[in-house]
Amino acid sequence: MYIGSQTSSTLVDVFRIGLQEVIKATGLPEEVRFNTDNCTLFIRGTDLANRIDQLRILFKPKAGVTQEELEKGVASTRINCRVKLEEGTVKLGVPAFEWRQLQQLLPIDALVEHFIVKSLRSATWSLEVEKYMESGFNINVLIEEMKRLKASDLHLRAGNRPFVRVDNDLQPLENCPAITAEDMRKFVLQLGGPDEMRLLETERESSFQYHAVGVGYLRCSGYIKQKALALAVRLIPEAPLPFPALNIPDVVASVCFKHRGLFLVCGVTGSGKSTTLAAMIDFINERRRSHIITVEDPIEYVYTDKSSIISQRQVGRDTHSFANALRGALREDPDVILVGEMRDIETIRAGLSAAETGHLVFSTLHTTTSVDTINRMISYFPQNERDLIRQEIAYTLQGVVCQRLLKRIGGGRIPAVEILLGGRPIVRDAILDGDLDKLYGIIEVDSDMRSFDQYAVELYQKGLVTKEEAITSCSNEEGFQRIISGIKGTEGRRLLK
């Protein structure tokens, strides 16, 4: 880390700002070194956020400076410092002090400025932590705390306390100290081992899985922030949720009995896509005698063979890419294929090909509505291929479910969903004609499909969410307000069906 001082900056300013930046970026250190031309500061303390136990200043003096002159200068500061001129270097030891006493050290700055060979004003300083405080963090204890709080995510970042996400809101773990850069290194090594540490340091990002026995699986995403390691950890249950626990209409489960086609679960990050797909895969696992292949980055839910057999593959470990794994899967006698994400043109092309050739393919996209999902898939392809891709989607699409998680009354979250079902001539024709906006009307009038607005009304009328929370998932707030007030306009009829 580097900081620059101004023409008016004193040594006290450099010390104060530099130490604050170190603590903010990498956590509480025990020993820190400040370096610039002709001067070095050594700082040590067991609680540097409040008190400095040892400060040593080493600098190169002007020619001809004597030990006697230095001692007289120190005496004039009225601070009980030790000073020694040795082999052309002045070594100055400052007694212990607290942060509130920092301004009382200004005479030390004047002393150094008087005797140093070149002024320290407008200088660039490098800051290096030589030792961090032992915080006593245990990653497995933090994971257990996640489960106790019913948290979905844990955020570990040097310079701050651990944070957890509970019902979509981030909150700190109040009784924990700030995490240091050394703590972060230990966390990565404990969760991913030396290989993931090397990958994270080289690639600056890394995703991997960790199994906390009896608690769940962790999807760990490592990254670098301000030159320090950071982790976002998602807790995944050891077993997928049973489908009824999802609070999603049973018509979605009926897709699991199809033997060909493409089914997509969509939504923003953290909207429950992986949970829904895992429940559907396990639903098939229990009821069909099939070979299921999953391709994920990284593997999240871990399945146990039941009526089916499941082959789980991780990108980077078991295969080079989603597209490669999909092409290879067609020769591995699959009935069902799960692709973690349709993230590029080759994966989409391979997924559509697998759906066309008699396989049931599940995947996800980061889109917010069914119409956006189809548009996004088509937009990946060059203009001269789009008519063909539109035709492939029209004939292979089994359905799209888009999700938004809402806060449930009494705690927890519940999905609001939009459901578009394929396989119907009216849906197929709208896609073939490129008249995708027509799908909105189809969703609203078909008894098996749902719009977000319709589902928000259902959740509110069942007493599962508040009115304010239901409105957050609506695209037509006015229609929602009318129907819950008992006024039946056109929107009201559509919402009620």
Q: What is the pLDDT of residues 201-229, one digit of tens each?
A: 999 999 888 888 888 889 999 999 878 89
Q: How far is CA 319 from CA 292, 297, 298, 453, in A?
A: 16, 10, 11, 41
**In this structure, are residues 154 and 170 in contact, taking their beta carbons and an 8 Å threshold?**
no
**At residue 423, what is the residue type?**
G
Say if residues 364 and 280 touch (Cβ distance below 8 Å).
Answer: no
* pLDDT, position 178: 85
**The pLDDT value given to residue 487:** 53
pLDDT tens digits for 404-445?
999 999 988 999 999 999 989 999 999 999 999 999 999 989
E-strand ranges in 280-344 read: 291-296, 309-314, 336-339
CA distance 44 to 52: 6
Please name the residues in contact with 98: beta carbons below 8 A apart, sequence gap of 6 or more.
50, 51, 52
| Residue pLDDT, tens place only, 119-152 | 999 999 999 988 877 777 888 889 989 999 999 9
CA distance 343 to 323: 10
Q: Is there a contact between 328 and 305 (Cβ–Cβ < 8 Å)?
A: no
Q: Tokens standing for 303?
A: 């399945």
DSSP E strand stretches across 297-412: 309-314, 336-339, 360-365, 397-407
Answer yes or no: are the C-beta atoms of 348 and 324 closer than 8 Å: no
Helix intervals (H) in 66-180: 67-77, 106-115, 139-149
CB 123 within 8 A of CB 4: yes
CA 491 to chain centroid, in Å, comes to: 38
Q: Give percent of the chain above pLDDT 70.
A: 97
Q: Which two tokens stand for residue 219?
A: 């999807």
Tokens of 396: 């292979």
**Taking the model in full, what pTM does it have?**
0.73
Name the band, by pLDDT with cuts 50, 70 and 90, for residue 2: confident
% of the chain with per-residue pLDDT over 90? 68
Q: Would you tell me how many other CB atoms lie within 10 Å of the CB of residue 419?
A: 22
Q: What is the mean pLDDT of the chain?
A: 91
The answer to whether the CB of 77 falls within 8 A of the CB of 108 is yes
Complete DSSP assignment for 238-260: SSPPPGGGG---HHHHGGGG-SS
DSSP string, 349-364: HHHHHHHHTT-EEEEE
pLDDT band of 496, cuts 50, 70, 90: very low
Task: Please list the residues that pair with 3 across neighbouring strands.
Answer: 125
- Bridge partners of 89? 86
- C-alpha distances (whole Å) from 440 to each of 334, 375, 392, 436 are 34, 13, 21, 8
DSSP state of 450: B
DSSP state of 301: S
DSSP state of 335: S
Q: What radius of gyration, in Å, describes the C-alpha atoms of the chain?
A: 31
pLDDT of 380 over the 80 cut: yes
| Owner of token pair 């896609």 | 431
